Amino acid sequence: MEKDACANCPHRKECKAKLQKKSAVVNVSANKVERAKTTRRMSVEEYAEYQKARNAVEGIPSVLRRKYGVDGMPLFGLQRTKLLFGFKIGAINFKKLVKYTRDKCAHLTEQCAPRKQCAQM
pLDDT reported for residue 110? 67
CA-CA distance, 6 to 22, in Å (whole number)?
Answer: 11
pLDDT in tens, 33-61: 888 888 888 888 888 888 888 777 788 88
pTM value surpassing 0.85: no
Q: Is the pLDDT of residue 98 over 80?
A: yes
Greatest mean pLDDT among 23-32, 42-51, 84-93 lies in 84-93
User: Helix or strand or coil: residue 18?
Assistant: strand
Q: Is the pLDDT of residue 97 over 60?
A: yes
The β-bridge partners of 25 are 18
pLDDT reported for residue 90? 93
Q: Is the pLDDT of residue 7 over 80?
A: no
Please, what's the b/e burial string for 74-98 (b: 16 or more CB within 10 A of its CB; e: otherwise)?
A: eeeeeeeeeeeeeebeeeeeeeeee
